[in-house]
Structure 1
Amino acid sequence: MHWKDLKAELLAIGSARLIGEPAEEYIARSAAGPGAGGAGAVFFAMGNHRVKFGLNPKSSIEIAHRGGGVAQLYFEGNLIPGRLLKPGCHCPDQAFITVTGSCIFRCRYCPVPLQAGKRKSIEEIMGLVESVRHRISAISLTSGVLSSIEEEEAYVLEVVKHLLFFGLPLGVSIYPTDKTPERLKDLGVLEVKFNLEAATPELFETMCPGLEYEQIWRALDRSVELFGRGRVFSNVLIGLGETDEELDACIRKLTTHGVIPVLRPLNPVAGMTGSPRPSAERLKRVFDMHERALTEAKLDARQALTMCTNCAGCDLVPGRDE
């Protein structure tokens, strides 16, 4: 089976049960995003390709760890040899750190507000990066919102100032103010990700009450001016109720504006519990839309140095998952 087709099938399930030799050093923990507060996740690699699985003892996918990272994936009667990847922080090759693990907003698909996680101190963040410095090539930051969007931005900027010490490519994804792109650029951040989350403003209003869709668009457009085409990203969830036509229109609007979409299959948690994950067939259709739009806009997702598009564990990424 072609890797793209296999990965679509695996992402449509999204989880695996892990058996075999102890594998704690290969398990990644999340304090933000759809996996926050879960049992952890593993990254399974086959050659240069990778896919992330949430750990679930009831999953129909089984990964047998044979020791030293050597692993076999069992799926629908197929045995696929590969390896488990050691995470830096959250994902392989990066220190991808959640600054604040709580949020005052209540986006329906997000479990972070239910976790009541804490804010990491600058000393703690520096220590996390130092602990994995020998096996990472980039640092990425994301964050909830502890008290206000403005206060969160100010704190993340202080974190960024300290992380410059490591001299690594730095990516940041937070909810932006109008001045966030300039402030991050002035500090030396290389890439930014401001998330539309939903394919239409109507869906966004339903899913993210209290947040502003057009605010994110303003930040994206300003970021392309400052950081350049292909250095700006935006998450769009697949499976919130949008049609393929609406999703295609959103993808094309992003790419024509110079933004690389990050198309994330819905993980049905928090207020979306019980919703279906997008099917493998739909993920493949969306991949084709994504690939065409990037090609027409002359954008190359393989050039990403930080954050989700560089990792490519949770999503199908044109150029990476061929």
Structure 2
Amino acid sequence: MEWVRLKARLLEAGSVRLSGEPADEYVSRSAAGPSAGTSGSLFFSPVTGRRVRAGIDEKCSIEVVHRGGGEADLFIDDDVVSGRLEPAALHCPRQAYITVSGTCIFRCRYCPVPSLPGRRKEIAEIVRMIESVADRIDAIAITSGVASSIEEEEAYVLEVVAALRSFELPIGVSIYPCPETPARLHALGVAEVKFNIEAATPELFSEMCPGLSWEGVWEALSSSVALFGRGRVFSNVIVGLGETNKDLERIMGDLAAIGVVPVLRPLTPAASLADMPRPSADRLLRLCEVHKKILRRAGLDPCRALTMCAACTGCDLVPGRDT
């Protein structure tokens, strides 16, 4: 099966059944986002430079059989694909991707974090975490919920970033922004930022992210491009919230036009959207073709990403990496 179609099928399914030899060292668990609180996930790679992340579900019809030492076979539909399980350094391969505050005062409808017993990590704890994987990472990525207020969270994340500069690795940051967040992160030497617009329309954003500002995120994205440069600013757009493909084409075009790389993130049904379907493989493939054309027209290349989701590629179809 062609890689892009195989990956789309796995993203549609969202999970695999894991069997064979013990594979604990290859299982990653999330403290933020829709996968928080689940039984974990794995990264499967058929060839170097391509990977897909899938949740682990013993009831899934798609199976990954670990043969030992990371060697694995993927049984999907009528195909068998040989590859490797990639160990996650922290959350994903080759990166220390750390959630600072695993709790949030906001209640985005797709996110289970507010209902989980999360906590804020101490700065010294974060430094120790990165030290423990420093020999197998190329970048640091920081994300966070909002523990008490947007302003207080930004201030704390800035302290975290300042403490991590000594590692001399590219740092990417994805938090909910205040008006001056881009300038403050840039002043600390952050390489890339990701401020998530999340939904394809302002109406859907208001419905899915009550209490947050669509305009505020757009302003942060726009000001970030002037600081970090075209192609160094990213924004997640969730596929499957009720938008049309035309809505997604429009929002991708609007983001790319100002120099922001859109990241199309298939919905992981969770929280109050737990009964929603995941987007189909066919839809993801059609959108990927549109995504590729929009990025090419804007002169944006996700393959240049140093940090965060666009560098990992496990959860999304990424033009240039998967196509």
Give yes or no for TM over 0.5: yes
SS in structure 1 opposite 2:33? coil
Deviation at 1:112, TM superposition (A): 0.8
Moved more, 218-227 or 110-119: 110-119
- Counterpart of 1:223, as a letter, is S
Q: Which residue of 2 aligns with 1:67?
A: 68
* Distance in 2 (alpha carbons) for counterparts of 1:35 and 1:65: 22
Q: Which residue of 2 aligns with 1:204?
A: 205
Q: Which residue of 1 aligns with 2:93?
A: 92
User: TM-score, structure 1 length as denominator?
Assistant: 0.99
Q: 1:133-282, aligned counterparts within 5 Å? A: 133-282=134-283
SS in structure 2 opposite 1:49? coil
Deviation per residue, 1:120-171 (Å, 9 max, x gap)? 0001101110111110000000000000000000000000000001000000
Q: Percent identity?
A: 60
- Counterpart of 1:317, as a letter, is V
Deviation at 1:116, TM superposition (A): 2.5
- Counterpart of 2:111, as a letter, is C
* Distance in 1 (alpha carbons) for counterparts of 2:135 and 2:17: 29
SS in structure 2 opposite 1:278? coil
Q: Which residue of 2 aligns with 1:15?
A: 15
- Counterpart of 2:182, as a letter, is P
Root-mean-square deviation (CA), in Å? 0.5
Q: Which residue of 1 aligns with 2:26?
A: 26
* Distance in 1 (alpha carbons) for counterparts of 2:150 and 2:198: 17
* Distance in 2 (alpha carbons) for counterparts of 1:163 and 1:33: 23
Is 2:104 the partner of 1:112? no
Deviation at 1:193, TM superposition (A): 0.1
* Distance in 2 (alpha carbons) for counterparts of 1:219 and 1:304: 19
Deviation at 1:114, TM superposition (A): 1.1
Deviation at 1:40, TM superposition (A): 0.6
- Counterpart of 1:268, as a letter, is P
* Distance in 1 (alpha carbons) for counterparts of 2:163 and 2:25: 27
Deviation per residue, 1:212-255 (Å, 9 max, x gap)? 00000000000000000000000000000000111100000000
Deviation at 1:2, TM superposition (A): 1.5
Q: Which residue of 2 aligns with 1:51?
A: 52
* Distance in 1 (alpha carbons) for counterparts of 2:267 and 2:316: 10
* Distance in 2 (alpha carbons) for counterparts of 1:122 and 1:210: 28
* Distance in 2 (alpha carbons) for counterparts of 1:59 and 1:130: 36
SS in structure 2 opposite 1:83? strand
Q: 1:279-318, aligned counterparts within 5 Å? A: 279-318=280-319
Deviation at 1:289, TM superposition (A): 1.1
Mind listing any 5+ residue stretches in structure 1 that lack a counterpart?
none
Aligned residues: 322
Q: 1:72-83, aligned counterparts within 5 Å? A: 72-83=73-84
* Distance in 2 (alpha carbons) for counterparts of 1:300 and 1:195: 18
SS in structure 2 opposite 1:234? strand
- Counterpart of 2:23, as a letter, is A
- Counterpart of 1:166, as a letter, is F
* Distance in 1 (alpha carbons) for counterparts of 2:62 and 2:292: 28
